[in-house]
Structure 1
């Protein structure tokens, strides 16, 4: 039995399941519809595929070696999360608590333009793109995988096949976890889409995304 592979699977599962921007985006889209939530989940897994591929190829080392490039990706990612959080927060703040809509159909609020995510106007492609960009624009992920993957390559084992296997494990876990989250949210949709509950979830989700984006933008000023 490959003990190192089992250990890595546990570590990777913990990393993937940890609540953060990816989780928030999947939940937010799943409030729009099951398909939107699953699309966002697949997008997140696609972003992880990019990060693990960069780590396997060694390209993530470039981010470490070129601070300006790392900061540029960090600012881009932070700005995107801040924008996405704002697009969720503003409609939620403006919408009255006694809104008559029983469900949140689009990601800009009930019956609105769905600009943030959800099937109302942007469609599944919008949800897929949001999930992908939220994960892919995280500048710390490729650096994390670059430092993590080699630790689980046994001595004397070929590095490339092994790191490819580890990368597949990460993406496979994401393809199980995030769609499961989306399906659970949809399963609870009757309760979660009640106007007050949906508004509260939107406020929390938007605040989390905006806060994470702001942290990314401000971090270069604190180091």
Structure 2
């Protein structure tokens, strides 16, 4: 039994499940529709695939060791998360002005009245992907975490590829599960008052994360 691999699965599961920008965007879009939530979840997994591929190829090391390049990614990521946050806050404010709208359910794969406005699964997929792919903390995390689970004497590339695959598979399980759970609870979560609270809360969280990335110091 590969004890290091089992330990890594536990660590990676905790890392993937930790609430952050990815989780917030998935929940918010899942309130719009099941399809939007699942598409966002797949986009997040796609972003993780990019980070893990870079780590396997060794390119993440270049990103981390070149301050200007790393700062550029940090600013782009922060600006995008900030944009999502401000959009959510604006939607919450508009929802309050409009009185929340009617509490009708038009089916699992269409926009739900009372839920956030997300136009199409393509946009949701793109939001999930960009939120994760532009996260500047991910290269640092993978570069510091993956080598610790490569046993002495083993070729690093195959082992790192295996570990990277584990991370992506966990994301493909966790984030769609979150989206489906939110959709399952949608009858309560899409009520005007609850929807306003979730939209405003997710907007505040994303805005805070974006501001921290844009105005904060270099992360590494």
- Cα shift at 1:100: 3.3
Are 1:164 and 2:165 an aligned pair? Answer: no
- Deviations 1:74-125 (CA, angstroms, capped at 9, x unpaired): 0000000001111111121122373332159759x8599x3xx3xxxx3100
Aligned to 1:47: 47
| Unpaired stretches in structure 2, ≥5 consecutive residues | none
TM-score, with length taken from structure 2: 0.92
> Take 2:219 and 2:59, find their aligned partners in 1: how far apart are those partners?
26
The partner residue of 2:213 within 189, 213, 216 is 216
- What is the Cα deviation at residue 16 of structure 1? 0.3
**Equivalenced residues, count:** 215
Question: Any conservation in 2 of the 1:47–1:133 contact (CA below 8 Å)?
Answer: yes
Deviation at 1:9, TM superposition (A): 0.3
User: For 1:182 and 1:134, how far apart are their aligned partners in 2?
Assistant: 16
Distance 1:222 1:65, change over 3 A: closer
Does residue 186 of structure 1 match 2:183?
yes
In structure 1, what is the equivalent of residue 84 of structure 2? 84
Contact in 1 for aligned 2:114/2:195 (Cα 8 Å)? no
Alignment of 1:56 onto 2:56: yes
What is the Cα-based RMSD across aligned positions, in Å?
Answer: 2.1
Q: Distance in 2 between matches of 1:5 and 1:110?
A: 44
**C-alpha separation between the residues in 1 aligned to 2:137 and 2:182?**
28
Q: CA deviation at 1:220?
A: 2.3
TM-score (norm 1): 0.91
Q: CA deviation at 1:222?
A: 10
Residue number in structure 2 paired with 1:125: 122
Larger CA deviation: 96-105 vs 204-213? 96-105
Alignment map for 1:1-223 (pairs within 5 Å)? 1-96=1-96, 98-102=99-103, 106=111, 110=114, 114=117, 117=118, 122-220=119-217
Give the whole-Å Cα distance in 2 for the aligned partners of 1:42 and 1:102.
Answer: 28
Structure 1 regions of 5+ residues with no counterpart?
none
Does the 8 Å CA contact 2:74/2:134 hold for their aligned counterparts? yes
Per the alignment, in what secondary structure is the counterpart of residue 199 of structure 1? helix
